[in-house]
Amino acid sequence: MASSHEPSTVPCVTRGFSADSLCDLQDARWPATQMIDFTTGVKPFGALGPDARLWHLPNGLAATSGSLPPPCREHDRTKNMPQNMPQAERRSHTPLREARTLEYRHNVLPSAVSRLGLVLVVLLQFVALMVVCLLVGDNGWDDGAITLAFARTFAGHGLIALTPHSEVVEGFSSVSWFLLHALVALAKPSWHFSLLVSQVASALCISASTVLLARTCALLGLDKLFSTLTVIAFAAWGCSFSEASNGMEMGLLAVAFLVMVNELLRPQPRMFWLGAGVVLAVTTRFEAVLYVALVALSVVRVPKRRAFWGIVVACVGISLALSIWRWAAFSDVLPNTYWAKRWPPYAAFGLADRLVGAVELLSFFLVPLVALELLLRLGFDPAGALIARRRVLPILGAPILGSVVMGGLLGKHWGYEGRMPYFAFPSALALLSLVLSSWVNAKKSKVRVAVAVGLCASAIGVSMKGFPSGSLRASFEGGTFGVTPRSYAETGRVIRRFVSAADLQRPAILTPDVGGLALECDDFRIVDLAMLSNRRLAHRGPGALAEVLASESPEIVEVHKEWASAGGLYELPRFRAHYVPAFGGGTKLWLREDVAKAIVTTGRGCRLAAQDEDLQKSLAVHRYANHDWPGDRRAFERPGVVLALNPADATAENLCR
């Protein structure tokens, strides 16, 4: 707006906007105004800052906070009102207030992506996600099954435990995801159906994130090209397919942060939705407290700090509520999973591991980052184009910074690529489009447009390293051994044969493979050797394994790889004295000596020399022959004798014949 205070220089007056509304702006003590003409094109809303006021006014104009010219002081804004109109009604009956109400009610916001186009993209995304989910089936990651097991126990017995007979502990990563699936479990579906529901829920959250990202693009004022690129890039993001097929919660966390980002990009954030995003984020992932704090800091310098305090109050409130609940339920203040991940094999706190964790998100944008560096060297200066959006950049950057900081703190995480920074991918894509659009629009040409499209495509291509190709391969091969519900449920069925042969009631099973096992065998007491669902091991580490072995005295032990070596299980005196190797159903187990004797006594099993030819042939091709370590094989054969189960099925392999 022109700096002159002459009436002829006031653009809104010359465009047909009455002085009544200008005076109303001054009465509301909003110091200075700018007029933005929406008849000639969409301007970037986000450049105004999260707490700026933006009103849609007559003749395609919108007003944002700024200073009013002196003519308002001399204008009688009530001259056309009836003399007997009450004062309160006089103050409320102005064109600006009516326009403001209209804006809030109808939420007028032009979008460069058409509704039909967005619907088609989201529909295709959801269909693609579900096709992969159906193909993967129960060959996904077992961590999703762990949450389902806890949810089923809570719905059926009111206990937060893997099974009704297992330890009460917060052994899952997401409170909100746990509660959602506990509601589903009230209907008592089969565990296969529960797994499918978790995949559908995850796919829906990811699709909702795409819709919210389109809204983000509109709030940023991105044009049709870059809005479309951003939405399509996230819709095709490779990591989404792993997240959905595993039935995990990071899509819900992405929804929470997009809700917060979108509210902060609005002319005036709505405190309810801003607070709802905070609550959803903190209940979805415990570490989201850090991410939310960074989002709050991104708006701390906005006048009045209304959004800042809204975020802080919501974050402190929900964090306090969760801490009180944890203390009352578990005598703890942190999720058990976070205590557990301080220890090997989860912990990877070396400098190289921390660096890998810190740059994980950035690695997905390696090609665009390199290209932007080259553009800077060639003279591209984004500062001028982005300075008007200086309040937007911290808001978009907060989730990205949070991912980098948390990655550096925790090191290389235990999971598939792109899982932990997944929530920040939408913000990163929006920020990339913001920077590329400033370069393209500075001197628009087909070459620049092609380069921008190519850089977005390169990010999609790199994201495919998070695509669940291994899970799909396992599914096509009929299910191979891995960290999957299918594998661990099969282990549960084999263990049940030994339990039946020994006539055991509610046996204790020590194993790191708990998700699919708990879903398949909810009448067992499962002792989690992987620490996530065992408080003693989580707090004290693998060094407490001897104490756990003595106190739990599990009838059956199933263990392999790092889970045996971390606590030196095979070398523990109690283990060597009281447990013997056993084999059945293509699975290697360890039985407590009295259980083994009971099986042999009833004729349901036999003892074979460890070097028995047929036994060695079976061991060479057992279910996870390619997944155990030499130490596992040496320990298994060290006693010199192996108990073999006599299968009830006459057609099955019988080493006891």
Query: Across all residues in the chain, what is the average pLDDT?
Result: 84
Q: What is the pLDDT of residues 596-629, one digit of tens each?
A: 999 999 999 999 999 999 999 999 988 888 778 8
| Measured torsion, CA atoms of residues 346, 352, 357, 360, in degrees rounded to the nearest 10 | -130
Please say whether the beta carbons of 350 and 414 come within 8 A.
no
Confidence of residue 62 (pLDDT cuts 50, 70, 90): very low
pLDDT of residue 379: 84
The confidence score (pLDDT) of residue 305 equals 87
Question: Which strands make up the sheet holding 641-645, listed edge to edge?
Answer: 525-528, 508-511, 556-557, 587-592, 579-584, 641-645, 605-609
Cα atoms in the 13 Å half-sphere on the side-chain side of 549: 26
Q: Specify the pTM.
A: 0.83
481 has pLDDT over 90 = no
Secondary structure of 335-357 as H, E, C letters: CHHHHHCCCCCCCECCHHHHHHH
User: Is pLDDT larger for residue 561 or for residue 548?
Assistant: 548
Task: Report pLDDT for 550.
Answer: 96
Backbone phi, then psi, for 502, in 5-degree steps?
-95, 0
The shares of helix, strand and coil residues in the chain, as percent rounded to the nearest 5, are: 60, 10, 30
Categorize the per-residue pLDDT at 67 as very low, low, confident or very high, splitting at 50, 70 and 90: very low
Question: How many other CB atoms are there within 10 angstroms of residue 24's CB atom?
Answer: 23
Task: State yes or no: pLDDT of 464 exceeds 60.
Answer: yes
Section 562-579 average pLDDT: 93
Rounded Cα distance between 604 and 351, Å, is 53
Mean pLDDT for 545-564 is 94
Compute the average pLDDT of residues 118-127.
97
pLDDT of residue 108: 44
Top-confidence residue, 444 or 496: 496
Tell me: pLDDT of 501 over 80: yes
- The span from the first CA to the last CA of the chain, in angstroms, equals 95
Average pLDDT over residues 17-34: 36
Q: How confident is the model at residue 454 (pLDDT cuts 50, 70, 90)?
A: very high
Give the per-residue pLDDT at 26.
Answer: 36
More confident residue, 489 or 649: 489
User: Strands 508-511 and 525-528, how do they pair?
Assistant: parallel
- What amino acid is encoded at 13 in this protein? V
Residue 104's pLDDT band, with cuts at 50, 70 and 90, is very low
For 26-47, how does the pLDDT look when each residue is reduced to its tens digit (9 = 90+)? 333 333 333 333 333 333 444 4
Q: Lowest-confidence range among 134-148, 384-398, 572-586?
A: 384-398
Asked if the model's pLDDT at residue 48 lies above 80, the reply is: no
Relative orientation angle of helices 392-410 and 250-265, to the nearest 10 degrees: 150
> What percent of the chain has pLDDT above 90?
68
DSSP one-letter string for 555-595: SEE---THHHHTTTGGG-HHHHHHEEEEEETTEEEEEEHHH
Sequential DSSP letters for 474-490: HHHTT--SSSSHHHHHH
pLDDT for 480 equals: 72
**Worst-scoring range by mean pLDDT, 87-91, 272-276, 465-469, 550-554?**
87-91
Q: What is the pLDDT of residue 381?
A: 79
Q: Is the pLDDT of residue 270 over 80?
A: yes
Is the pLDDT score of 562 beyond 70? yes
Helix (H, G, I), strand (E, B) or coil at 154: helix
Per-residue model confidence (pLDDT) at position 420: 94
- 87: pLDDT confidence band, cut at 50, 70 and 90? low
According to the model, what pLDDT value does residue 45 have? 40
pLDDT digits (tens, 9 = 90+) for 277-323: 999 999 999 999 999 999 999 999 888 889 999 999 999 999 999 99
State the pLDDT at residue 29.
34
Quote the CA–CA distance of 285 and 173 in Å, as a whole number. 6
Cβ neighbourhood burial of 576 (10 Å; 0-12, 13-18, 19+): middle
Does residue 169 carry a pLDDT above 60? yes
Which pLDDT score is estimated for 70?
Answer: 41
Largest Cα–Cα separation, the chain: 109
Q: How many CB atoms lie within 10 A of CB 617?
A: 11
Percent of residues, the chain, with pLDDT higher than 70: 82
pLDDT tens digits along 230-243: 999 999 999 999 99
Of 28-37, 190-199, 359-368, 436-445, give the lowest mean pLDDT range. Answer: 28-37
Q: Are 243 and 422 in contact (CB under 8 A)?
A: yes
Are the C-beta atoms of 392 and 265 separated by less than 8 Å?
yes
Question: Helix, strand, or coil here: 502?
Answer: helix
Residues in the chain: 657
Pair of tokens at residue 58: 């007559």
- For residue 233, the Cα-to-chain-centroid distance in whole angstroms is 18
